[in-house]
Structure formats: structure tokens, C-alpha cells
Amino acid sequence: MATDLSNIRNIGICAHIDAGKTTVTERILYYTGKNYKLGEVHEGTATMDFLQEEQERGITIQSAATTCPWTKDGKDYKINLIDTPGHVDFTIEVERSLRVLDGAVAVFDGKEGVEAQSETVWRQADRYKVPRMCMINKMDKLGANFEYSFDTIKKRLGANPIAMQLPWGEGDELKGIIDLLTMKAYEFDIESSGAIVTEKEIPADLQDKAEQWRHDLIESAVALDDDLMEQYLEDEDSITIPMIKKAVRKGTIALECNPVFCGSALKNIGVQRLIDAVIDYLPNPQEVPEVQGTDPKDKTIKITRPHDDTAPFSGLVFKVVSDTHGDLTYVRVYSGKLEKGTRVLNPGNGKREIASRIFEMHAKDRMALDEIGAGNIVAVVGIKNSMTGDTLCSTDDAIILERMEFPEPVISMSIEPKTADDKRKLSEALVTIRREDPSFRSEYNEETGQTIIAGMGELHLEIIKNKLVRDMKIGVEVGRPRVSYREAIRSSANGCRGLFKKQSGGRGQFGDCTVNIEPYTKEQAEADGLDFKDNVAFVNGIVGGSIPKEFIPSVEAGVRQTAKSGVSAPYPLINVKVTLVDGKYHDVDSSQVAFEQAGRLALREAVSKAGSILLEPIMKVVITTPEDYLGNVTGDLSSRRGMILDTEDKGMIKEVIADVPLSEMFGYTTVLRGLSQGRAANSMEFKEYREMPMNLQQEVIAAES
């Protein structure tokens, strides 16, 4: 297999749920020789969906990584491929995959075009500046329309799509594809599962349409390169295919355009041409910007590392999977080489790790390697103390790569073990799941004696529950899902005192501190250069030593712990800045514990003075429904405190976009089926936290007390 960096592609396949990503991936594995038979999602035999839960539901839950070979124009290439989920509850899987990829293939449904989750994925790719190309899939579907889908890429995503192919027929009539560069038609033989491709002349009835689209292709391509534009204006006929390809590749890598391909993965039409296009238009590891990081000793010093085997080793952990033979830690190697048995450093926690074994992965199978160079994606065994988002680097030349940001969970439920043995196993299992899934949280509530688990949605928690019961064989009882509210303050409050004083024979306890509190946002914290951990900023404003500096971290710890567990209600306090302005201490009786308690009391006093409010998670809900049921759907949304933002025509179907509080959306999918005789569908993603109506705030607080 090729090891030259220019022959490596690190790509992801991402899309809205049901656009056919996993089927596209299965076909890529088949044509690259990784699989000898075709896996099907609807039959539960897809290679990349190897979890039992995935096979039963026909959806992708966790991103799976694989490496496959491809030969094009006599050159051997290596494609590291990640298939990501489309369901919004697992958006974290897409997020962490995009962080380590050099390019992506966005797959769209040929009938639906750009859908809600496609927009989310596209925004994530924008954030990580990932070059991407598009595949309009399912062109064999009844009602598939290439031009409509192409237009939605332009209008809904604000992208600059350039059609490189047209479908030869649509729906049941789909025969193959028309290549707008070579101006030839390609027919895919059904008997050979699309392996035999025949080149033909473009049918006469499609010639004019193909000419028009080719003209648009050339105009779009030359617009990406000033020299080419000059040549085009002088002599249109002098523009060659290699020139067009070079301009489109340059534009794609510079995030200025997105080449668009088409076909039907299920009918084995167009996939080989798509793999060729990955090689032609997506960047190799040397064509993306050098990875950036900071010096662990001084975070203000920026460092970059070249994509080169001779540079010091640096890599990013983007996934941890528990395995019977030891945890598999997926690492994207950015610079240097990693050899089997090497000691590496996790500069975030200062711990040293040993990469005892290195594997190249193919879904759940693996191939052992002695060493791996820059630009590759591998799984490492032996890493014990590193989690998703952590950097691994050379022990002599440390760097911390930019961390990924993980969304806060919006839904929680209680979970209780049935026996003492289950209790022991549950605590170990939750630690394992937390390492694997950064969007999952769990904590033990001392007061109620319950364990609370929190995640991104009902499906997310249901799958975690199934994993505990079915895969890990732990007996648990679960409560009903609950909304994760947040607490915030209405206004500022100054001079709020926390005095902790205890005298009980012998040495007493004394801590006294005064704080100011104000509403504060992440943007303000970034502008002021303050640490905004858990959405709380703490500032030491003590002058003149009224509190000795060794007690100040204790005050901060007290403030942060109280904010985390909630003040007026058991929900985290967020978006506040707490400034420690004054205090007193006692030479003998003051201690760290006393100042921690003083910090707690001061924050409670401050929140009471400033006035607190409850915030609830608001979901962006997108519903597609036949027009006949539009009234039912919108009426129901209004009854759920929903705010309808937009209603759009999509042929016979209406698309409704609304903001709805999460607390009103439990079990909504079942209700929607009933309202529309099973014909409407919905998707939901977290949008923001918003203040709740006062009467509902009081209800929630009363229920908690």
C-alpha cells in the first residue's frame, strides 16, 4: 500500500439520516477489494454498522474507521475512510470525525435534496474548514430530481456546487451517469454488481442538456483561477480537461467550490467514479494547513507542526472504543512517526502512555503495524489515561493541539442497579462509556442516592441503557427521561458575603469572603481572556492580602462546586462572572475547607440578591408532512409552546421549521405518526437555552423541592 503522503486521503462520508451514507461506504469497500460481498443496511449486514443496535435499527450510531486501497491511472492510493452517523443524537460522532479528516463526501437524497441534518453537518464541516464534495445519491428513487437537489445545495447551504456529472435517466429509468468532462455516458452492468462499466456516446435526447451543463462547469472552473480565466477569454477551445480538473481541485481545497457527483449506491451506479473523484479533488495530508497547537508550559505561545515523518510526533485522540483485548484509541497522526512500544506524552494531564500495539482498522477487523507516519489514522492499544480530544505527542517536544468542543447534554434520567453486584459493575461501565462518548455524562447524587445519566436525546439514552443491559449484562432500572434545565441570574449583585464560622472546643473553622456577581457570556470571557469552565468565570480581585493567596483556590472551588450542583434548583448555574473582592481570615482557625464553605455561602447569597431564572433547552424541529396534515401538525406544535419559523413547499410535501421546548417533545415521533397516518417525519436538534415562562419555572422548582 502507498505510504507517500500525496497518495493518502483521509475522508469521511456524512449526511442526513437515510441519505444512504452507509450504503455508499459499503460500495466503496466492495470496489476497493476490502469486502468480497456487498453488505446491505436494510438486511442488517453492513460491515460498518457492526453494533447489534445499528443492525436492528438500520442506522449508524458510532463512526467506524477503515483503510482501503485504490488504484487510479497506475498509481496506488490509500484511503482512510470514516462512516459517520446521520441521527442528530449522535452529532458528536460527526464532530469528532470532521476534526481529524482532510476532506468529506456529503451525501444527499436525490429526491429530498438538502435536509435538516445535512445543514448541521455542513456547518460542522465549515467550522473545521473541511473541503468537501457532494454525491446526489438515490437517483433511482421515484421522484428523484437531480436539478432540484443541486439547487438546494446552492440555496440552503450557500455553497458553490459544480456539477461534474449528470444522471442518465432518473427513478426506474436510471441507467448510468454522464461525465461532463469527457462528455461520455457510462452504463453500469447490474449482473456484475456494477463492476463492469461500459463507455457509450451520450444519448441524442440528452446531448443539448449535457452541453449546457458542461458550459456551466467550464465557466465555474475558470472563475476559480485568474490565469485560466484569461486564457478562456482569449480562446475558449484551448481549455483542456486536466486544466479544468486542476482548477476544480484547487477551488475545492480552498473551500471555494464543491464538485457534485451522482448515482445510486444501492443499484451500484457511480461509486467507482466517486472514488476516482476523491483522489482527483480532495486534498492529501500535505495540502491542508499545518496543524496548530500551543506550548503546554505557556498557552499563549502558538506552535505549528508540519505534515512530515521527520518532525516531532504529534497526534489527536478522536475516539476511544472499549474492547475485550484492551481499549482501542483512535489517533490521527499529524506529524512525526509513531513506533510500536513507544512512550508518548499526554500534555493535557502530564501522564505518559505506551503505544504498545498499532493497528490499521477495517471496521471491526485489524492489521498490526510496527510503525505509522504522519497523515495516517490508526488505532492504538495501551493508552490508558487519554480521552477523546486529548493530544499525544513526543515526550521531548510537547504540543497541545486544539481541543474539540462537545455540546452539553439536554436530557437526563435516573438509573439504579438492581443488585450489589450490578452496582459495582455499573460504576465501572459508566466510566467506560464516558471515555467512549464525550457527549454522555453521569453523576451520583448524594442526597437522593440516585445515579443520573445525561445525553443528547431520548434515542441516545435508550441506546446507552441497551448497551448496559444487553452488551454489559448489568441489571438496571431506569426512570423517565427528564429535561436538563439551567439556572442563570437576572442582574448583577455586589458585596455578597459568605461567612463560615464554627467553634467546637479546640481549633475552630473560620472563612469570610465577599463576592460580586454579574451575568456573563462565553464571548465576553473570550474577549477578556478569562477561563470560562462550565460557563462560570472566576476572578481574584483581592488586593492587600485580606485573604492569603493559598485560600483563594478554595474559594473558587466552593463557588464552582455550588454553581455546578445548582443554587435555587438542582440545575447548573451558568453564564456568570464571580469576582472575589474582599474577605477576612484567622491565623489559627482559617483553613481551605472553611474558605471553600465561605465561597459556597457567598455564591448562594449573591444569586439570591441578583435573582435567578431557569433556562430550558429549545430544539430546532424540522417536520416534513403531506399538505393534508399541515393543519394538524402546526396546531399540535402551537399546543407545545412551539414557535413556527418557516413553512416551505417541497412539491406535494410541506416542510415546517419550528423552535419547541424540549420538555414538550417527549414521545413526539409517535404522536406525529398518529397525526399524519404515519406519513410525516421529523428531526430535532438542540438550538439554545432560553428563559422559561415564570409559571412553569415555579412548577419545576416546586417539583424538585
Dist CA 102 CA 407 (whole Å): 23
Residue 656 confidence (pLDDT): 92
Sequence-distant (6+) residues with CB within 8 A of 545 are none
In a domain, 318, yes or no: yes
Dump pLDDT digits (tens) for 456-494: 777 788 888 888 888 788 888 888 888 889 999 999 999
pLDDT at 503 over 80: no
Dump pLDDT digits (tens) for 605-657: 999 999 999 999 998 888 888 888 999 999 999 999 999 999 988 767 888 99
In a domain, 248, yes or no: no
CATH number at residue 469: 3.30.70.870
Q: Annotate 289-326 with b (16+ C-beta within 10 A) or e (fewer).
A: eebebbebeeeeeebebebbbebbbbbbbbbbbeeeee
Dist CA 112 CA 151 (whole Å): 11
Tell me if 99 sits within 8 A of 127, measured CB to CB: no
pLDDT at 57 over 50: no
Dump pLDDT digits (tens) for 199-241: 999 999 999 999 999 999 999 999 999 999 999 998 888 889 9
Boundary residue ending a domain (476, 495, 514):
476
Q: Count how many domains the chain has.
A: 5
Averaged pLDDT for residues 361-375 = 81
In a domain, 116, yes or no: yes
Give the cell for residue 25. Answer: 461506504
pLDDT at 63 over 50: no
User: Are residues 49 and 15 located together in one domain of the fold?
Assistant: yes
Residue 55 confidence (pLDDT): 40
Boundary residue ending a domain (578, 610, 642):
610
In a domain, 84, yes or no: yes
User: Are residues 557 and 577 located together in one domain of the fold?
Assistant: yes
Residue 58 confidence (pLDDT): 39
Residue 298 confidence (pLDDT): 82
Residue 4 confidence (pLDDT): 81
Dist CA 69 CA 78 (whole Å): 5
In a domain, 276, yes or no: yes
Dist CA 11 CA 685 (whole Å): 25
DSSP 8-state code for residue 552 = H
Residue 91 confidence (pLDDT): 57
Find the farthest-apart pair of alpha carbons in the chain and give their distance in angstroms, rounded. Answer: 102
**Please, which pLDDT band fits residue 54 given cuts at 50, 70 and 90?**
very low
In a domain, 74, yes or no: yes
In a domain, 597, yes or no: yes
Give the cell for residue 423. Answer: 452496582
| Average pLDDT score over the chain | 85
User: Are residues 694 and 639 located together in one domain of the fold?
Assistant: yes
In a domain, 208, yes or no: no
Residue 323 confidence (pLDDT): 67
CATH number at residue 316: 2.40.30.10
Residue 46 confidence (pLDDT): 38
**Please, which pLDDT band fits residue 318 given cuts at 50, 70 and 90?**
confident
pLDDT at 551 over 90: yes
pLDDT at 23 over 70: yes
CATH number at residue 35: 3.40.50.300
Dump pLDDT digits (tens) for 67-115: 888 888 888 998 888 766 544 445 566 666 777 889 999 999 998 888 7
CATH number at residue 691: 3.30.70.240
Residue 60 confidence (pLDDT): 35
Dump pLDDT digits (tens) for 372-405: 999 998 889 999 888 888 899 999 999 998 877 6
User: Are residues 459 and 590 located together in one domain of the fold?
Assistant: no
Give the dihedral of Cα atoms 58, 60, 62, 68; nearest 10 deg: 110
Dump pLDDT digits (tens) for 559-588: 999 998 889 888 899 999 999 999 999 988
Boundary residue ending a domain (287, 306, 340):
287
Tell me if 585 sits within 8 A of 512, measured CB to CB: yes
Dump pLDDT digits (tens) for 271-310: 889 999 999 999 999 898 888 899 888 878 889 999 888 9
Residue 624 confidence (pLDDT): 84
Q: How many residues does the structure list for the chain?
A: 705
Dump pLDDT digits (tens) for 163-198: 999 999 888 888 999 999 999 999 988 777 777 888
User: Are residues 133 and 280 located together in one domain of the fold?
Assistant: yes
Dist CA 474 CA 476 (whole Å): 6
User: Are residues 416 and 543 located together in one domain of the fold?
Assistant: no
- Please state, in angstroms and as integers, the Cα–Cα distance from residue 472 to each residue in 55, 226, 466, 469, 566, following that order: 18, 60, 9, 6, 32
pLDDT at 53 over 50: no
User: Are residues 307 and 385 located together in one domain of the fold?
Assistant: yes
The amino acid occupying position 213 is W
Averaged pLDDT for residues 420-434 = 86
DSSP 8-state code for residue 510 = E
- Residue by residue, DSSP assigns 606-647 as HHHHH-EEEEEEEEEEEEEEEGGGHHHHHHHHHHTT-EEEEE
Report the range out of 407-411, 601-605, 660-664 with the highest average pLDDT: 601-605
Place of cell 504529534: 314
**Please, which pLDDT band fits residue 41 given cuts at 50, 70 and 90?**
very low
Residue 189 confidence (pLDDT): 82
Residue 84 confidence (pLDDT): 65
Higher pLDDT, 28 or 524: 524
User: Are residues 435 and 501 located together in one domain of the fold?
Assistant: no
Give the dihedral of Cα atoms 227, 283, 287, 294; nearest 10 deg: 140
pLDDT at 45 over 60: no
Listed as own residue / partner, the contacts of 269-272 with beta carbons closer than 8 Å and 24 or more positions apart are 269/139, 269/140, 269/174, 269/176, 269/177, 269/188, 269/194, 270/135, 270/165, 270/176, 270/177, 270/188, 271/24, 271/27, 271/28, 271/31, 271/194, 272/31, 272/194, 272/197
Burial class, 402, CB count within 10 angstroms (exposed 0-12 / middle 13-18 / buried 19+): middle
User: Are residues 124 and 267 located together in one domain of the fold?
Assistant: yes
User: Are residues 168 and 296 located together in one domain of the fold?
Assistant: no
User: Are residues 621 and 693 located together in one domain of the fold?
Assistant: yes
Dump pLDDT digits (tens) for 301-315: 889 999 888 999 999
Dist CA 468 CA 248 (whole Å): 48
Dump pLDDT digits (tens) for 436-453: 777 788 887 665 667 888
User: Are residues 453 and 502 located together in one domain of the fold?
Assistant: no
Tell me if 416 sits within 8 A of 476, measured CB to CB: yes
Helix axes 552-565, 592-610, angle to 10 degrees: 50
- Number of neighbouring beta carbons within 10 Å of residue 588: 9
Dist CA 640 CA 638 (whole Å): 5
Residue 17 confidence (pLDDT): 65
**Please, which pLDDT band fits residue 702 given cuts at 50, 70 and 90?**
confident
pTM of this structure: 0.71
Tell me if 578 sits within 8 A of 609, measured CB to CB: no
What domain range includes position 512?
487-610
Dist CA 489 CA 418 (whole Å): 40
